[in-house]
Chains A and B, each alone.
Chain A
Amino acid sequence: MASQLSFTGFAWKNLWRRRLRTLLTLVGITMGIGAFVALVGFSRAFEHEWLRMYTSSGIDLAVVQSNLLSSSIDESLVTKIGAVPDVAQVAPMIFNLMDLTPEVNALAYGWRANTYEFDSITILSGHRFRDGQPEILLGDLLASNLKKKAGDIIPIQGTNFTVAGIFHGGTALEAGAVIMPLDQMQLIAGMEGKVTAFHVKLRPVPAGESYDHYVSRASADIEAALPGIRAVPAAERAANNQIVELAHSVAWGTSAIALIIGILGIANTMAMSVFERTREIGILRALGWKGRHVILLILAEATALGFAGGLLGIGVGWGALRLLSTLPQTASIVSASVAPSHLLESLVIAIASGLLAGAYPAWRGARLSPVEALRYE
């Protein structure tokens, strides 16, 4: 059987002739896409976990002083918020990040012992903490990382806290979190009489009114009752809080740098390739290849590099996420799950990177005069 030469087969042979250069270029784009998958995937999973945490707790609105996590509001406002007609329950709370050991940090919550937010978690061992006592609850993942169980002692900022119980939450954020009495949190955070936010649960949605409209109306009522205070829908609070936005910015910024390096790698490879193959392009043009055929060939090679680098990068990025989700230092905020849409997006970016990087070399190759290219030594 005579061997058939296809357009793609020809492109593949051109890439294969310089194996090492092709391999190094692949490494570049793989690292770029890998960084994109891991970092952006991480920041999106982080945001998703936040949203899940709000929704699983039944929180409809977060009442904050501003849209910052460092918001600080008088705890006494709980009465005024509770007086708003559509408000069913109000949970004053403090949220922060805490170093429990030099190696392990955790999301830390200050809750009242009677808050409705306990409905969203399950006590696996021990019991709920008591207000006014130096007691804490540990998420199951955090307890496992710290090798602590109910009854053990953990020193936090000079105070020995007793592990009252181990809980299981529905999200990775909760699994790696520590919860303590609000008053204890206020003491160690120097926030006596202050809270970060009030988590508001509304009464059931009135018949004939949409949820969004209801939440929006309740938000306006709370803001009218408390000038200078914002009542933010839970989904918006999850997406727009400072930590999530910082995670998004760092992820996109770092990925963009890695991707630019990868794109420059492909562009360099294709430019070198066109330069080295000047005479061969002249031969193709002498045989009647149109400029667009040459463009297609070079773009096919660049796109193949982008596609292969994209697939490898997805594997590397996913692997990195899985690894991070198992490390004690990061397990509480990293989820190993990656949305299929993110993988598709990564592949599209990889292919687009190939096309972008191949554009100039392809254009240059197509403009070569056949005779000039044939004379090229």
Chain B
Amino acid sequence: MIPLEHWLYLSGMLFTLGLCGVMMRRNVILVLMSVEIMLNAANVALVAFNKHLVATSPDGVSPDGQVFVFFTIAVAAAEAAVALVIAMALFRRLDTVNVDDVCNLRW
């Protein structure tokens, strides 16, 4: 039996690694990948909660958490596609994928 805590620690670690990736990488594609990592970590937490905390009802255990994860994955996919196409348009315009070079909205 793996206690819920351990699952959550795992999720937290993955999330933090994703955060580090967002904050510390300069390639915009890598940043987007780190965002996907964060989403994935959240999915792990959701499924773990579903398994451990949802009570058994006469109809069985409701897999709401997993349905939520399903939708999350779908949304992540859509979001990744659009974000990538924006990154490509950016590359075409500025000829760089360095996040630091995109700073027109400054004081």
Q: Do A and B bind each other?
A: no
Interface positions of A (Cβ within 8 A of B): none
Interface positions of B (Cβ within 8 A of A): none
